[in-house]
Amino acid sequence: MANLFVIPKYIFTGKDALNLASDNIKKLGKKALIVTDDMMVKLGSVKRLTDLLDSISVNYEIYSKVNSEPTDKMVSEGIEIYKNDNCNFLIAVGGGSPIDTMKAIGAMITNTGKITDYLGKVIPNDPPPLVTIPTTAGTGSEATQFTIIADTEKNIKMLLKGPNLMSTIAIVDPVFTSTAPPKVTAATGIDALTHAIESYTSRKAQPMSNIFALSAVKRIFKNLLRAYKNGDDMTARTELSIAALEAGIAFNNASVTIVHGMSRPIGALYHVPHGLSNAMLLSECLKFALLGAPEKFCDLASEIGGYKEGMSYIQAGKVFVGEVEKLCKSLDIQTLEEFGVNKGLFFKNLDKMTEDALASGSPQNTIRIPSSEDIKDIYKALWK
């Protein structure tokens, strides 16, 4: 069976990757719109970029209002700045929210209508050049053809896609992740782990995506808890940055499955950060998916040293799910109740969440395809 494998045009990794990419950035245009958030400005991450741009005589404007998960309104604001200030390429500095917002802004510079018009459609026209500089090791958005934007009128998260949304340049420099606090390190790390597991157990998995997925799982299990406990551990930070990139490449080519499909409604309705909502769902979703792909879960157990000679696929898979649960517990992942979600409201919205999860299409990529009742049962299990 033939497969298409899509990655960014250029990928720069490791300490000082930003400096190494300077010549390539300079060739993209004379003025960049930098899409980021206020915290990246305060922490000096944006200054690290602007110092480089100053040194290579590239002008810039800064849009720093992506201070929550991205919305259609943020996209509209960014488009206005881009056009009014005559920018000709974009750079995102931040986690998944600034990167996703930047992709959507770029898409709407060269495509007609509003960003909300593209729900369920492929973005047709090439955007201006896109540069991504992730400051968390988690979303993998620097390596994907996807963006998730909230439609503020319909109160849903839209998954938008197209090869045209791929980064022209992805700069994966672990120095930019060193300022991530422990809770962010944990949530984004579990997000990357989810990408890797889901892409490996997806119906759309392919040989190349499997290579990246398994490598990412192994790196995350070895390094996430280390980085959580000691944010200055640059060896762990470097490994996690690579793992997030690998996981992004994997799911970009194999798709996510049930966890992400069920996660988006939780984020849209209760404003739970994406990585955290994935972490809340991960164990229960994996227990469901295991029965559809026991041999693949056995492979995952082998990657982290959990497989013992004589184990059945199911036994090994259960060991892997157990290790995921232990990792989440060690990372102090919050439950819905601990986050402050109202249980009564959550159960009142079960039908809408289920409908939105299935409408995303992601759960249907799971080898064991869930019914609407299966989705509801998993949501209910989060309150056990």
Give residue 1's pLDDT: 82
Read off the pLDDT band of 315 (50, 70, 90). Answer: very high
pLDDT of residue 184: 94
- Could you tell me what percent of the chain has a pLDDT over 90? 93
pTM comes to 0.93
Can you give the pLDDT at residue 158?
87
Q: pLDDT grade, residue 148 (50/70/90)?
A: confident
What is the C-alpha separation between 103 and 100, in angstroms, rounded?
5
How would you classify the pairing of strands 169-172 and 130-134? parallel
pLDDT at 155: 84
State residue 121's pLDDT score: 84
What's the whole-number mean pLDDT along residues 82-88? 97
Q: What is the mean pLDDT of residues 15-19?
A: 95
Residue type, 193: L
Predicted confidence at residue 259, as pLDDT, reads 98
Domains of the chain, each with CATH number or no CATH: 10-177 (3.40.50.1970), 182-381 (1.20.1090.10)
With a CB cutoff of 8 Å and minimum separation 6, the contacts of 283 are 321, 324, 325, 328
Average pLDDT over residues 112-133: 93
pLDDT (average), residues 281-305: 98
pLDDT digits (tens, 9 = 90+) for 175-230: 999 999 999 999 999 999 999 999 999 999 999 999 999 999 999 999 999 999 99
| pLDDT at residue 69 tops 90 | no
| Each residue's pLDDT tens digit, 223-252 | 999 999 999 999 999 999 999 999 999 999
pLDDT in tens, 105-115: 999 999 999 99
Q: What does the pLDDT average to over 120-130?
A: 92
Q: What is the pLDDT of residue 159?
A: 82
Task: Indicate the average pLDDT of the chain.
Answer: 96
Kindly tell me if the per-residue pLDDT of 120 is higher than 80: no
pLDDT digits (tens, 9 = 90+) for 153-171: 988 888 888 999 999 999 9
